[in-house]
């Protein structure tokens, strides 16, 4: 059975969560090839196992190399492992009475966050997780579908998601833009939004190399937090700060992964790229909201 058929079979167990992104009608899996709505709008499964539910083709700045580098950093170097653990613990704490959880990662990239968090929630907290990952980047979703089978992966617009109302217990939004109208629409009663934003020390070792101005060497998330508070009911927030030691290939992978390096000449990274190893700071804030 190839990936396209496997994914179509898996998704057919959850087809009721979808709505057509064109006309909002309900959808069904058709002949293990497509997702089709009542008005015959048809979206085919890709051979990698994801489904593209965008209405217009979108080109993003994020390429396949960036997503492969991000996956390597997460899986091989455990770059976000403490974060995955903290998120899984938060999910468990706020869903004590639930044995099954529907979890969507809005802006899933190459899927490693969703995969790791789902695994921890399942293995350490004995909850059955239905995981859905969406991103506007076809390249990211393709990498996700290639590496993680037991999830639903879709290319989709975060401002017009292809899901019916009130389908998810938890929305993850990790270092990614938010659409609070959609968050509120998609959440079940008492559903959770877990949003991760950088704090001032996030990747400071890279920022100090890239930026000469002290104000750009640190980062403020004040505007993001303010907007979160204005749009959704904040119930808790916490900080998470740790360092990860990277060897030389790890340093190169980090530089390849981060958009911070896009407008930077390689010359600026010369010293860092020659280092045998370096410690990198991961400084994040976890914002938790609950739907009333």
The domains of the chain are located at 3-290
pTM of the predicted structure, to 2 decimals? 0.94
Q: What is the pLDDT of residues 73-131, one digit of tens each?
A: 999 999 999 999 999 999 999 999 999 999 999 999 999 999 999 999 999 999 999 99
Q: Residue 292's pLDDT is what? A: 74
Residue-averaged pLDDT of the chain: 92
Whether residue 211 has pLDDT greater than 90: no
Q: What is the three-state SS of the chain?
A: CCHHHHHHHHHHHHHHHEECCCCCCEEEEECCCEEEECCCCEEEECCCCCEECCCCCCCCCCCHHHHHHHHHHHHCCCCCHHHHHHHHHHHHHHCCCCCEEEEEEECCCCCHHHHHHHHHHHHHHCCEEEEEEEECCHHHHHHHHHHCCCCEEEECCCCCCCECCCCEEEEEEECCCCCHHHHHHHEEEEEEEEEEEECCCCCHHHHHHHCCCHHHHCCCCHHHHHHHHHHCCEEEEEEEEEEEEEEHHHHHHHHHHCHHHCCCCHHHHHHHHHCCEEEEEEEEEEEEEECC
Q: What is the pLDDT of residue 217?
A: 54
Q: Is the pLDDT of residue 70 over 90?
A: yes
pLDDT of residue 46: 96
pLDDT at 266: 67
Q: Which pLDDT value is given to residue 73? A: 96
So what's the pLDDT on residue 263?
62
pLDDT tens-digit series, residues 4-43: 999 999 999 999 999 999 999 999 999 999 999 999 999 9
Average pLDDT over residues 132-141: 96
* Stretch 190-217: mean pLDDT: 84
**CATH of region 3-290, choose from 3.50.50.60, 3.40.50.300, 3.90.580.10, 3.40.50.150:** 3.40.50.150
Q: Higher confidence at residue 217 or residue 123?
A: 123
């Amino acid at each position: 059975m190839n990936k396209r058929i496997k994914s179509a079979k898996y998704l057919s167990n959850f087809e009721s969560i979808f709505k057509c992104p064109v006309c909002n009608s309900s959808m069904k899996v058709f002949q293990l090839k497509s997702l089709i709505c009542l008005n015959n709008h048809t979206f085919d499964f890709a051979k990698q196992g994801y489904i593209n539910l965008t209405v217009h083709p979108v080109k993003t700045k994020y390429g396949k190399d960036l997503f492969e580098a991000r996956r390597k950093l997460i899986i091989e170097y455990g770059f976000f492992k403490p974060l995955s653990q903290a998120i899984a613990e938060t999910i468990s704490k706020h869903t004590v009475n639930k044995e099954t959880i529907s979890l969507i990662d809005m802006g899933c990239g190459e899927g490693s966050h969703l995969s790791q968090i789902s695994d921890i929630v399942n293995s350490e907290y004995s909850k059955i997780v239905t995981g859905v990952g969406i991103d506007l980047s076809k390249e990211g979703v393709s990498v996700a579908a290639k590496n993680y089978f037991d999830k639903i992966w879709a290319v989709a617009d975060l401002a017009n998601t292809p899901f019916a109302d009130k389908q998810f217990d938890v929305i993850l939004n990790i270092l990614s833009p938010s659409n609070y109208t959609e968050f509120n629409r998609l959440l079940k009663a008492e559903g959770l939004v877990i949003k991760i934003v950088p704090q001032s020390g996030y990747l400071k070792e890279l920022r100090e190399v890239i930026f000469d101005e002290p104000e750009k060497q640190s980062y403020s998330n004040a505007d993001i937090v303010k907007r979160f508070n204005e749009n959704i009911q904040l119930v808790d927030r916490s900080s998470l700060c740790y360092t990860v030691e990277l060897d030389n290939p790890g340093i190169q992978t980090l530089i390849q992964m981060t958009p911070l390096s896009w407008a930077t000449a390689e010359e600026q990274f010369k010293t860092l790229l020659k280092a045998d190893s370096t410690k990198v700071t991961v400084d994040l804030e976890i914002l938790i909201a609950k739907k009333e």
